[in-house]
A and B are shown apart, each in its own frame.
Chain A
Amino acid sequence: MISVSVKNISKLYGAVKAVDDVSFNVQQGELFGLIGPDGAGKTSLFRILTTLLLADHGTASVNGLDVVKDYRAIRNKIGYMPGRFSLYQDLTVNENLSFFAAIFGTSIEENYALIRDIYEQIKPFGNRRAGKLSGGMKQKLALCCALIHKPEVLFLDEPTTGVDVVSRKEFWEMLARLKEQQITIVVSTPYMDEARRCDRIALMQAGKIMSVETPERIIHNFPKPVYAVGATDLYGLLKELRVDPAVESCYAFGEYLHLTVLAATTSEQSIHSIVQKYQPKNLVIKEITPTIEDSFIRLMNEQNANAENDGE
């Protein structure tokens, strides 16, 4: 069963296309990720789906309800965590929770099973003002508030932005447990490494969706072998390889460079002969599985190239 359906949605702000002809479906119980940088159009899309914003073109529905016509009905069925920390800073954890429970016509006890996991973690700080919580705790509280009325679909706009690695990890574990309860979750993030935690992801850039697939398929669809190249002076080597005629792309990824070449068939040997020209110290070359970020960069470059061709 399709839970969220987006068909040819566009949203313009003046001349800027924030969302540009976007279409995708999310199945019920799926954990669906919108991956892309700021300005990709993720937030606009969320606001259209949560009935806060009207699209200029296209249609969208949530659990079969139209986001324009049936907006009141949708509002009862969804949970939404906006991008910014959106709780009352001057209210305590418990006051925030009971307030949001009340406006959704429920109580903390009613759906306790759903939030228990998360609530237990913030319970010790029940009387602390929300503004005095750490980033990770705020995020948990916001999630609790979004879940309190047992929504059928959960929209989380960049819940992990600006949060440290430990809290991010915990947060994704919580989402995985929520998924087990058959809640459809649509989540956005600028962190590419979080993509693999989703069932399916949409890679978004400049208002457009570049690809909608499972993370595995996206990686599998990467057309070329990727080689990790390590050396002492990585930045020096990067500058050389970028302009090497045999190299298709070369980007820094942590302690390695990720390299693809123009030649159709390659081996570690052939890469070695290209790189060796620059006499790097402590050279390491190995073929690797590309990451989502490799795919994103590749798709972005393709998109830019297309845009330039269109322009001419």
Chain B
Amino acid sequence: MQKTMENKAIICRELTKEFGDFKAVDRISFEVNQGEIFGFLGANGAGKTTAMRILCGLSYPSSGEATVAGFDVYKQQEQIKKNIGYMSQKFSLYDNLTTLENIEFYGGVYGLSRPEIKERSAQLVHTLGLEKEVKKLVGDLPLGWKQKLAFSVAIFHRPKIVFLDEPTGGVDPITRRQFWDMIYEAAASGITVFVTTHYMDEAEYCHRISVMVDGRVEAIDSPANLKARFHTDSMDEVFYQLARGAKRTAD
């Protein structure tokens, strides 16, 4: 048991979150392997956000079990937070700080030492090709760069898992692909990527995806297998067939 736990980044068993008699998340079970890019899809209001909040250590489940990076979502929220990175569509950068100040700030939040921050930020600025922009305010950067920077900051403390909540919304198609290059590189370095998206082609970049409908995980498999199962060659169609019957209308 202990051994299988170690190479699973996330384990959910019968995870449930109730608000009154409303089951936002209804007995979901799945596992995410280490280094995997896991797509977490679902219709609006299916319960994705609620589930993700639990896994990020931001809220407690009503019942069921879950571990993230080997830590329990009930008892070890603090350890979970130390071992994950998070990036949402709204980013988490301060527009009125410079690129470097943002990086240094997040390094400091996660308790990295001064020399570590210095070394890693130099490296990061170099990989992103942001040398000329280090002293620029983040608010003045183009959207695509902001997004890449936000992702880099989210994995700056080398977390075991990074949660990406619709990270590529509204970005041009080239930047979107550059962003996925970064995701692939992060995954290759051993970071588990847990990502939500509304772009169905992006769902296909994931190793495996799950589709949530009305609080339940209705399907979980590789994109190719899912398409085979629904006799179609488009992910759109897979999603449509699964989510079409959704009863829930409220977020």
Q: Which residues of A are at the interface with B, using a C-beta cutoff of 8 A?
A: 36-40, 125, 128, 132-137, 161-167, 169, 190-193, 205, 235, 251-255, 293, 296-297, 300-301
Contacts and interface: CB of A to CB of B under 8 A. Distances in A.
B240 A167 contact: no
B200 interface: yes
8 contacts: A37-B170, A38-B143, A135-B44, A165-B198, A165-B240, A190-B170, A252-B205, A254-B223
B94 interface: no
Interface string B239-251: 1100110101111
B74 interface: no
Given A134-B45, A255-B224, A297-B173, A164 B250 contact: no
B236 interface: yes
A171 to B, nearest CB: 12
A135 B243 CA distance: 14
A230 to B, nearest CB: 9
A136 B44 contact: yes
Contacts of B172: 36-37, 40, 205, 296, 300
B143 A37 contact: yes
A166 B43 contact: yes
B173 A300 contact: yes
Given A166-B239, A193-B201, A254-B203, 8 more contacts: A133-B249, A134-B45, A134-B248, A137-B249, A164-B43, A165-B198, A252-B180, A253-B201
Contacts of B175: 37
A135 B251 contact: yes
B204 A136 contact: no
A300 B173 CA distance: 9
A15 B90 CA distance: 25
B115 interface: no
Contacts of B109: none
Contacts, number: 100
B243 A134 contact: no
A38 B91 CA distance: 14
A40 B143 CA distance: 11
Nearest to A168: B198
Interface string B180-221: 100010000000000000111101110000000000000000
A167 B198 CA distance: 11
A169 B250 CA distance: 18
B224 to A, nearest CB: 6
Contact of B142 (A39, A125, A192, A251): A39
A207 B61 CA distance: 46
Contacts of B205: 252, 254
A255 B235 CA distance: 10
SS class, residues of chain A in contact with chain B:
mixed
Interface in B24-82: 42-45
B199 A135 contact: no
B198 A163 contact: yes
B23 to A, nearest CB: 16
Interface in B140-182: 142-143, 166, 169-175, 177, 180
Contacts of A254: 200-201, 203-205, 223, 235
Nearest to B185: A235
Contacts of A161: 169-170
Contacts of A252: 177, 180, 205
A289 to B, nearest CB: 14
B198 A162 contact: yes
A38 B168 CA distance: 11
A134 B228 CA distance: 31
A218 to B, nearest CB: 14
A162 B169 contact: yes
Contacts of B43: 164-167
B240 A166 contact: yes
A165 B173 contact: no
Contacts of A235: 184
Contacts of B248: 134
Nearest to B244: A166
A11 B180 CA distance: 32
Contacts of B235: 254
Given A162-B166, A255-B204, A293 B173 contact: yes
Contacts of B240: 165-166, 169
A161 B171 CA distance: 12
A37 B147 CA distance: 13
- Looking at B42, B143, B246, B251, the one whose CB has the most chain A CB atoms below 10 A away is B251
B188 to A, nearest CB: 8
Given A37-B143, A136-B249, A165 B169 contact: no
Contacts of B42: 164
B174 A165 contact: no
A300 B143 contact: no
A122 to B, nearest CB: 9
Contact of B198 (A37, A40, A164, A296): A164
